[in-house]
């Protein structure tokens, strides 16, 4: 009986059983807050349910304490717990918070793991990780024996990796009767999860939302960023105290909005309260992300209370809860992945959110008191243009990486894999085909040695492939740099007001053979100049991108060495070797000039133009591109010159040319082939 009580969430020992140290005062303070969270009451019930069931669905309003309380409670029972998050920002910030709540050092009993950043140790009981990282762990340990309990959080988001984990869990649960799985989601379609995990009980935590008054605009807004700025200023000038949360779509417009709001607020002077404007998006460093939890500024000289205003991407929709928000400004948009398997193009596009998302966003205003939500779109748009819910990501993604992961885990029959929503067969076919051309799968669809090597790197298969091939082309040093640079945000800044100066700065790094080599030059210069921030700002380079690239490069190098690959660099023929090496992975992304500056992609015959950001001085006959951008005009970005002969040498199977549409490029390749055949004779 006694033991039972000490396990209950209400029991409060004075010493931390994990560290044997007395609890700090901060612990006691946080504990009080924690006890008021709706989830707190349900913890014991959850523990009891877990004794009877392998899978439990837990649903509760955002902010009810699911992510912070449930995992730490279970870790307190001496269970090894993994809790997934769709976003790295959420994984890192929640881990930090929970370490504080448990009064332990981050990285010890509580840790996190996100791509290129692992913060955990032998003693880690609770690990927050991105869903993608858990999937990677499952490649190494297919039954995930390192954990007793796996929590799939934010399940309603239906990210690609979470969806794969669902199917994987079903298989692992069969093999490991001791494993427990908790699926946690906001109050959305929990019945779908229950249905999928047949017989899993649903535990619902009662929400505590205050009413939120919703306003639509009367007429459609031309410029939603400007409209957001205006709305924030109106709230700030005329509404009662309370913080503001604005939803926009990406870094650039968030920074613009922040600048403009600060500018406007300055105009008002002391007639309005102090306004603390904070951006929030995924590429911000953790220290900057932490700012959102800072308290709002105090009253000004005229005793008008201050407020904070957070301008965020949809990170703030469900995965991070910011207390004190009373006003929400919703652009109705977010960046979403779209994939067209026929064109093999995956891109991020600013698209309308779903009604469910709009409701979640509005709900952010009613956490602590009644709130208001200003939608920057009309009621008509809401009714006729917004879908009920967002399509699961698996239906709009390139699956190459996922299919390889599944193969590595030994899941061979993809048709039998229990997808909650099965992806289009065409998308699966494309993935298998590409993996075969890359040499990761053989003609029977079985994993090759190269395939398992490719899967070792936390990169897209094409990038891993070029990294591995770099040994053969004696350019590993440069390809390591390139892979790192292609994994971070575009390093070239181009503020509107100083576009020309920025272009000049960029021209210093321009390499005549293309943008890939330009990226490598920038990185070399950054290292040569001692990785200095002032050098970056002087040259319109994003220091964050560079720091991230340096870190990623180090990690790739460690992995590279561990796999027994050799770092080789040869000055002779350097540019050609690098570009050949890139061709060995990205041979599907090539285009040939049709006329003047119009190119056609080879396999799909799409008309494209080279993006104006290129450092190429002229328009060469053949190019390889890294990215295809769908806008009003179709662009290819990050482009380098190639020699079509390399394509025939490096990917002969792909360039058998049978299914290719007729084009300038195809005809050239055909005649090249003929003359090669003749020469051989």
Binding residues for ligand CDP (CB under 6 A): 37, 60, 62-69, 93-94, 97, 293, 321, 323
For Mg ion, the closer of residues 103 and 317 by Cβ is 317
CA-closest candidate to residue 82, choices 90, 93, 92, 72: 72
For ligand CDP, the closer of residues 83 and 578 by Cβ is 83
For Mg ion, the closer of residues 188 and 480 by Cβ is 188
For ligand CDP, the closer of residues 68 and 313 by Cβ is 68
- Give dist(CA 384, CA 58) in Å, integer: 32
Q: Which helix (H) or strand (E) holds 629?
A: strand 622-630
Q: How far is the CB of 253 from ligand CDP (least distance, A)?
A: 25
Q: Is 374 exposed, middle or buried (0-12, 13-18, 19+ CB in 10 A)?
A: buried
Q: Which does 94 bind (CB under 5 to 8 A by kind): ligand CDP, Mg ion, none?
A: ligand CDP
Q: Which does 372 bind (CB under 5 to 8 A by kind): Mg ion, ligand CDP, none?
A: none
Q: How far is the CB of 589 from ligand CDP (least distance, A)?
A: 39
Contact indicator for 42, 203 with CB cutoff of 8 Å = yes
Contact indicator for 407, 447 with CB cutoff of 8 Å = yes
CA-closest candidate to residue 306, choices 398, 210, 236: 236
Q: How far is the CB of 257 from ligand CDP (least distance, A)?
A: 23
- What dihedral do alpha carbons 378, 156, 293, 288 form, nearest 10°? -90
Q: How far is the CB of 67 from Mg ion (least distance, A)?
A: 3
Q: Which does 638 bind (CB under 5 to 8 A by kind): Mg ion, ligand CDP, none?
A: none
For ligand CDP, the closer of residues 33 and 240 by Cβ is 33
For ligand CDP, the closer of residues 72 and 640 by Cβ is 72
Q: Which does 426 bind (CB under 5 to 8 A by kind): Mg ion, ligand CDP, none?
A: none
Site for Mg ion in 44-73 (CB under 5 A): 66-67
CB neighbours (10 Å) of residue 252? 14
Handedness of CA 445, 451, 456, 461 (dihedral sign): negative
For ligand CDP, the closer of residues 30 and 657 by Cβ is 30
Contacts 24+ apart (CB under 8 A), 256-264: 256/225, 257/225, 257/228, 257/229, 257/311, 258/311, 260/225, 260/226, 260/229, 261/229, 261/232, 261/233, 261/309, 261/311, 264/229, 264/233
For ligand CDP, the closer of residues 49 and 205 by Cβ is 205
Could you say whether residue 130 binds Mg ion (CB under 5 A)? no
Could you say whether residue 162 binds Mg ion (CB under 5 A)? no
For Mg ion, the closer of residues 61 and 462 by Cβ is 61
For Mg ion, the closer of residues 74 and 404 by Cβ is 74
- DSSP string for residues in 75-115: HHTT--EEEEESSHHHHHHHHHHHHHHTTS-BTTTEEEEET
Q: Which does 64 bind (CB under 5 to 8 A by kind): ligand CDP, Mg ion, none?
A: ligand CDP
CB neighbours (10 Å) of residue 310? 24
Tell me the sheet residues that pair with 278.
Answer: 310
**Which structure tokens are listed for 522?**
């920038």
Q: Which stretches of 104-170 are assigned E, i.e. beta strand?
A: 110-114, 117-119, 126-130, 149-152
Q: Which does 401 bind (CB under 5 to 8 A by kind): Mg ion, ligand CDP, none?
A: none
Q: Which does 216 bind (CB under 5 to 8 A by kind): Mg ion, ligand CDP, none?
A: none
Q: Which does 539 bind (CB under 5 to 8 A by kind): ligand CDP, Mg ion, none?
A: none
Q: How far is the CB of 321 from ligand CDP (least distance, A)?
A: 4
**Which structure tokens are listed for 197?**
């995990």
Q: How far is the CB of 205 from ligand CDP (least distance, A)?
A: 8
Q: How far is the CB of 419 from ligand CDP (least distance, A)?
A: 26
Residue ranges in 278-378 assigned as alpha helix (H): 286-289, 315-318, 355-363
Q: How far is the CB of 66 from ligand CDP (least distance, A)?
A: 3
Q: Which does 60 bind (CB under 5 to 8 A by kind): Mg ion, ligand CDP, none?
A: ligand CDP
Q: How far is the CB of 70 from Mg ion (least distance, A)?
A: 9
Q: Which stretches of 275-395 are assigned E, i.e. beta strand?
A: 275-280, 307-312, 325-330, 333-340, 345-352, 371-375
Count the residues of the shown chain that bind Mg ion, applying the rule CB under 5 A. Answer: 2
Q: How far is the CB of 559 from ligand CDP (least distance, A)?
A: 30
Q: For binding to Mg ion (CB under 5 A), which residues are involved? A: 66-67
């Amino acid at each position: 009986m006694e033991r039972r009580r000490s396990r209950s969430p209400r029991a409060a020992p004075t010493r931390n059983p994990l560290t044997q140290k007395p609890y700090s005062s901060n612990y006691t303070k946080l504990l009080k807050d924690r006890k008021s969270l709706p989830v707190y009451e349900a913890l014991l019930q959850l523990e009891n349910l877990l004794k009877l069931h392998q899978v439990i669905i837990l649903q509760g309003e955002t902010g009810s304490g699911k992510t912070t309380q449930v995992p730490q409670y279970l870790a307190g029972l001496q269970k090894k717990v993994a809790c997934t998050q769709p976003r790295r920002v959420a994984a890192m910030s929640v881990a930090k918070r929970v370490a504080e709540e448990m009064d332990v050092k981050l990285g010890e009993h509580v840790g996190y793991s996100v791509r290129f950043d692992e913060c955990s140790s032998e003693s880690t009981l609770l690990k927050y990780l991105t869903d993608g990282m858990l999937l990677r762990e499952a490649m190494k340990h297919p039954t995930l024996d390192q954990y007793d309990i796996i929590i799939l959080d934010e399940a309603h988001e239906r990210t690609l990796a979470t969806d794969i984990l669902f199917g994987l869990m079903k298989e692992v649960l069969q093999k490991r009767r001791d494993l427990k799985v908790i699926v946690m989601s906001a109050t959305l379609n929990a019945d779908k999860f229950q249905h999928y995990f047949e017989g899993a009980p649903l535990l619902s935590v009662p929400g505590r939302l205050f009413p939120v008054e919703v306003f639509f605009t009367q007429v459609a807004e031309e410029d939603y960023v400007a409209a957001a700025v205006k709305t924030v200023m109106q709230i700030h000038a005329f509404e009662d105290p309370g913080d503001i949360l604005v939803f926009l779509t990406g870094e650039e417009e968030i920074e613009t909005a922040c600048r403009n709001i600060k500018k406007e607020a300055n105009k008002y002077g002391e007639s309005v309260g102090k306004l603390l404007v904070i951006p929030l998006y995924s590429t911000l460093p953790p220290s900057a992300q932490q700012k959102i939890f800072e308290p709002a500024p105090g009253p000004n000289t005229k005793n008008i209370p201050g407020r904070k205003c957070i301008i965020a991407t949809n990170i703030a929709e469900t995965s991070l809860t910011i207390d004190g928000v009373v006003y929400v400004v919703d652009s109705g948009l977010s960046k979403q992945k779209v994939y067209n398997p026929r064109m093999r193009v995956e891109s991020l596009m600013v698209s309308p959110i779903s009604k469910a998302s709009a409701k979640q966003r509005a709900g952010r205003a009613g956490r602590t008191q009644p709130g208001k939500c200003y939608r920057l779109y009309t009621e008509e748009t809401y009714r006729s243009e917004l879908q009920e819910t967002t399509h699961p990501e698996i239906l709009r993604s390139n699956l190459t990486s996922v299919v390889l992961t599944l193969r590595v885990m030994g899941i061979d029959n993809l048709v039998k894999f229990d997808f909650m929503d099965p992806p289009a067969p065409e998308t699966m076919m494309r993935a298998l085909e590409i993996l075969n051309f890359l040499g990761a799968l053989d003609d029977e669809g079985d994993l090759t040695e190269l395939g398992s090597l490719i899967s070792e790197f936390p990169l897209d298969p094409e990038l891993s492939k070029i990294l591995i091939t770099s040994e053969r082309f004696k350019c590993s040093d440069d390809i390591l740099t390139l892979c790192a640079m292609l994994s971070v945000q575009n390093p070239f800044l181009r503020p509107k007001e100083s576009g020309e100066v920025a272009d000049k700065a960029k021209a210093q790094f321009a390499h005549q053979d293309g943008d890939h080599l330009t990226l490598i030059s920038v990185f070399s210069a950054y290292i040569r100049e001692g990785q200095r921030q002032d050098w970056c700002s002087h040259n319109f380079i994003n220091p964050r991108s560079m720091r991230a690239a340096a870190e990623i490069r180090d990690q790739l190098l460690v992995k590279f060495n561990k796999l027994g690959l050799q770092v080789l660099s040869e000055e002779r023929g350097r540019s050609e070797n690098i570009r050949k090496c890139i061709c060995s992975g990205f041979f599907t992304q090539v285009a040939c000039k049709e006329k003047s500056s119009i190119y056609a992609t080879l396999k799909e015959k799409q008309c494209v133009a080279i993006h104006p950001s290129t450092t190429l001085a002229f328009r060469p006959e053949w190019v390889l591109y890294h990215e295809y951008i769908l806008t009003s005009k179709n662009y290819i970005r990050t482009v380098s010159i190639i020699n079509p002969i390399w394509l025939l040498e490096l990917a002969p199977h792909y360039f058998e040319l049978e299914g290719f549409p007729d084009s300038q490029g195809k005809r050239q390749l055909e005649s090249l082939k003929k003359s090669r055949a003749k020469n051989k004779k």
